Amino acid sequence: MASALALFFIFNLASFHALPDVVLEDGYTVSTVIDGHKLRMNPHSVLHRSGSSDLVVLDSANNTFYTVSFPASQESVVKRLSGDGRPGYLDGKLSSARFNSPRSFAIDLKGNVYVADIKNKRTIRKISDSGVTTIAGGYSEKAGHVDGPAQNASFSDDFEISFIPELCALLISDHGNQLVRHISLKAEDCARGSNAAMGAVSTWLLGLGLSCLLGLIVGIAVRPYIIPSTGRLQAPPFQRDMETSPNSSGETSTDTLLRHQKRSC
């Protein structure tokens, strides 16, 4: 009996060491980036806004969405995106629109915000630059799981939304109905890079273009000094550059360089 007990303990001890319940992984750091006390808001949830350096912060208790410039600091610019603070159901202008303690939202690649506004007739609302609209559930009077044209669709009293860029769609985890629902978005709202992102991409392309151009110019400028060594002093560099049959004459190292440069552009 005693040996059985001892075995039991040894076995348990061994299995405890072999299969720990908690695995502590090092290498992560926590820091505070937005202090609601200082910024006078109560962050319920936060997402990065595509196409900008802003975060969108939902203050559910105050029925308001804010944008906070990021990286956030004491000097962060906090702007009210939409919601006038009071609970209500009002579409239209960003500044006067009203929400009713929404708990979940998603952001598409253009920066539009989609709000699961459950207390407002279980609707899904859209905050765009031009204002606030209701995109789903507008006609629904009661909870349900009706699919079809979005204004006539219905949802349960408990759902959350997320945006899936690869699908260009919202997925709705409709807890109350035990369903995942799907709403396709407009293609223009899934085009990567509007606003700031577009700026970054075009700057990058401009940089690439400039470096290509610089490479070509350097190639052209350097060539005449190398060409004489091959006894082809007379060849005007520009004209030669236009030649379509580069193999017809002796190739210098800059020819190769130039070709590489052109190919990589």
Ligand X SMILES: *[C@@H]1O[C@H](CO)[C@@H](O)[C@H](O)[C@H]1NC(C)=O
Residue ranges in contact with ligand X by CB under 6 A: 40, 61-62, 85, 139, 149, 152
Contacts 24+ apart (CB under 8 A), 213-222: 215/261, 215/265, 216/258, 216/261, 216/262, 216/265, 219/254, 219/257, 219/258, 219/261, 220/258, 222/254, 222/257
DSSP string, 160-222: EEEEEGGGTEEEEEEGGGTEEEEEEPPGGGSSS--HHHHHHHHHHHHHHHHHHHHHHHHHHHH
The distance from CA 114 to its chain's CA centroid, rounded to whole angstroms, is: 14
For ligand X, which is the closer residue by CB, 54 or 84? Answer: 84
The minimum distance between CB 55 and ligand X, in angstroms, equals 17
State how far the Cα of 57 lies from the Cα of 46, in Å rounded to an integer: 5
For ligand X, which is the closer residue by CB, 60 or 177? Answer: 60
For ligand X, which is the closer residue by CB, 64 or 156? Answer: 64
The minimum distance between CB 61 and ligand X, in angstroms, equals 5
For ligand X, which is the closer residue by CB, 89 or 139? Answer: 139
Q: Tokens representing 5? A: 């007990």
For ligand X, which is the closer residue by CB, 85 or 199? Answer: 85
The minimum distance between CB 135 and ligand X, in angstroms, equals 14
The minimum distance between CB 85 and ligand X, in angstroms, equals 5
């030669």: which residue's tokens? Answer: 240
The minimum distance between CB 188 and ligand X, in angstroms, equals 24
